[in-house]
């Protein structure tokens, strides 16, 4: 029994499409021997994966209804795909019920008894095998199935399963698990790609094949290291580009805020003489009011000045206006209060004019900020498109290197098998310099790079112009 955990994913549709059809995206289903479901109300495999997808998308509601806090890190990969494979010698006596029993045992080993699962058995390989498509999201409470130590748990379960059936076929697993029981860190050998496994298996009887395997492995590791470095650099460059433009946008916003405050202060400074003049006018008006209060006719004059006859005649808030008029006619305090309201009204008018000028100045700064941010977005898009195209070109070159590496590997094994006889054209190195796809990518990259350079130069020129102003 060999359990294999495949890379987790997001698409139940994609995984089910592969499992329920023949290889190479064929619409046929000849290799599907049988299907079964677990914790699902349907045995229809096409309905099953749709229900699983709906459950995964409904995770937040399931958590809320179960009283589970929707906090912590969120996994975006609800699709778990396992494969259980038996030895070809076990094919004759292996029944569907036994394969289903084993699949359920593997699911229990992962602690996923309550999870929805679709089992699919294929008949296109000499070794019997069953695929398990598992929904990591619980239909009960929406919790995500943890992935910690899942390979170790399956290894221990597979060893117990073989022992139960009376024949240990994978001895290395027993040795590895014993070492783990002693507290030693032990890791199983990584799976070889199928094309390499088949190539090595076809040359097992050739003399000197181990030396060829070792040499080709070193070359594969070197190119693999180069590929990882390429991916790491691409990730770093993408992050640096995003961070650089994020920092630039923050600087533009901070500068605009400071410019807006300075523009507001300039407007306030321009209105300060008007406020000083208004203060002196108020003081003069107050002294005149107090002189008039010393005489009867002056008090009458102050009272008439305090009454808002237009408000009384227009009917705007008549009751309040009449009350204020009565107070102004009858008491000194009422007249003084009306006098101060008239002065405050003049102050309010001047303040409205100042606020309007402040808003106008700030809106001008905001318009400049919007233009600069728009220019930065255009520059970012141009540089990102240029970088993406550059990365695509480098990845295409890396894929060509892997194709060349595969051709070299095949040629090395063939040469060893034929004891150094000259190879035909298929065994030689494949030149990638004449690849039209790479040439097209290079030309597109050159144009994008020129566009990004022009946008960058325009941005630099704008900054120089602003400094000169």
DSSP string across 26-82:
-S--TTEEEEEEES-S---HHHHHHHHHHHHHTHHHHHHHHT----SPPPS--EEEE
Residue range 148-193, pLDDT digits in tens: 899 999 999 999 999 998 888 888 888 888 888 888 887 777 766 7
Query: At 208, is the secondary structure helix, strand, or coil?
Result: coil
Q: Cα–Cα–Cα angle for 11, 156, 104, nearest 5°?
A: 50
Grade residue 196 by pLDDT with cuts at 50, 70 and 90.
Answer: confident
Radius of gyration of the chain, Cα coordinates, nearest whole angstrom:
41
Residue range 292-321, pLDDT digits in tens: 878 878 777 766 666 554 554 455 555 555
Judge contact between 61 and 140, C-beta under 8 A: no
Report the Cα 160 to chain-centroid distance in Å. Answer: 41
Domain ranges of the chain: 2-191, 237-468
Report the Cα 395 to chain-centroid distance in Å. Answer: 21
Q: What percent of the chain has pLDDT over 90?
A: 54
Q: Which of 15-19, 73-77, 140-144, 458-462 has the lowest mean pLDDT?
A: 458-462
pLDDT at residue 231, as a whole number:
94
Residue range 376-415, pLDDT digits in tens: 999 999 999 999 999 999 999 999 999 999 989 888 888 8
Mark out the alpha helices in 293-331 (DSSP H runs). Answer: 296-306, 309-314, 318-330
What average pLDDT does range 261-271 have in this prediction? 95
Is the pLDDT assigned to residue 282 strictly greater than 70? Answer: yes
Structure tokens at 364: 């001008």
Which CATH code for domain 2-191? 3.30.930.30
| pTM metric for this prediction | 0.56
Query: At 437, is the secondary structure helix, strand, or coil?
Result: helix
* Closest listed residue to residue 405, CA positions, set 429, 433, 425, 432: 429
């Amino acid at each position: 029994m060999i359990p294999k955990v495949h890379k987790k994913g997001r698409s139940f549709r994609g995984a089910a499409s592969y499992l329920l059809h023949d290889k190479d995206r064929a619409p046929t289903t000849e290799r599907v021997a049988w299907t079964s479901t677990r914790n699902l109300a349907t045995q229809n495999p096409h309905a099953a994966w749709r229900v699983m997808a709906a459950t995964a998308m409904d995770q937040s509601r399931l958590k809320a209804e179960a009283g589970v806090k929707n906090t912590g890190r969120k996994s975006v990969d609800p699709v778990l795909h396992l494969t259980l494979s038996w030895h070809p010698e076990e094919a004759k006596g292996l029944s569907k019920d036994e394969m289903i029993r084993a699949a359920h045992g593997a699911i229990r080993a992962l602690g996923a008894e309550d999870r929805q699962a679709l089992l699919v058995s294929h008949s296109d390989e000499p070794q019997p095998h069953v695929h398990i498509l598992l929904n990591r999201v619980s239909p009960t409470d929406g919790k995500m199935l943890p992935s910690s130590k899942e390979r170790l748990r399956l290894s221990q379960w597979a060893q117990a399963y073989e022992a139960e059936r009376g024949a240990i076929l994978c001895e290395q697993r027993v040795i590895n698990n014993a070492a783990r029981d002693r507290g030693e860190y032990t890791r199983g050998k990584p799976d070889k790609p199928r094309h390499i496994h088949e190539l090595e298996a076809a040359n097992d009887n050739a003399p000197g094949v181990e030396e060829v395997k070792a040499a080709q492995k070193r070359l594969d590791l070197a190119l693999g290291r180069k590929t990882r470095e390429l991916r790491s650099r691409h990730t770093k460059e993408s992050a640096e580009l995003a961070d650089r433009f994020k920092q630039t946008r923050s600087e533009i916003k901070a500068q605009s805020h400071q410019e807006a405050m300075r523009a507001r202060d300039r407007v306030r400074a321009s209105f300060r003489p008007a406020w000083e003049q208004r203060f002196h006018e108020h003081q003069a008006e107050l002294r005149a009011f107090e002189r008039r209060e010393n005489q009867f006719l002056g008090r009458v004059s102050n009272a008439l000045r305090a009454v808002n006859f237009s408000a009384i005649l227009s009917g705007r808030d008549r009751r309040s206006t009449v009350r204020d008029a009565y107070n102004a006619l009858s008491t000194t305090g009422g007249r003084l209060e009306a006098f101060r309201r008239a002065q405050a009204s003049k102050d309010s008018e001047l303040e409205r004019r100042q606020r309007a000028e402040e808003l106008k100045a700030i809106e001008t700064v905001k318009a400049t900020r919007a233009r600069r941010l728009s220019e930065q977005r255009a520059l970012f898009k141009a540089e990102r498109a240029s970088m993406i195209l550059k990365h695509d070109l480098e990845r295409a070159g890396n894929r060509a290197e892997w194709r060349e590496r595969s051709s070299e590997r095949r040629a090395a094994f063939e040469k060893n098998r034929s004891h150094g006889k000259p190879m035909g054209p298929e065994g030689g190195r494949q030149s990638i310099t004449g690849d039209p796809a790479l040439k097209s990518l290079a030309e597109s990259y050159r144009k994008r790079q020129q566009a990004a350079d022009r946008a960058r130069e325009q941005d630099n020129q704008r900054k120089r112009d602003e400094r000169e102003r």
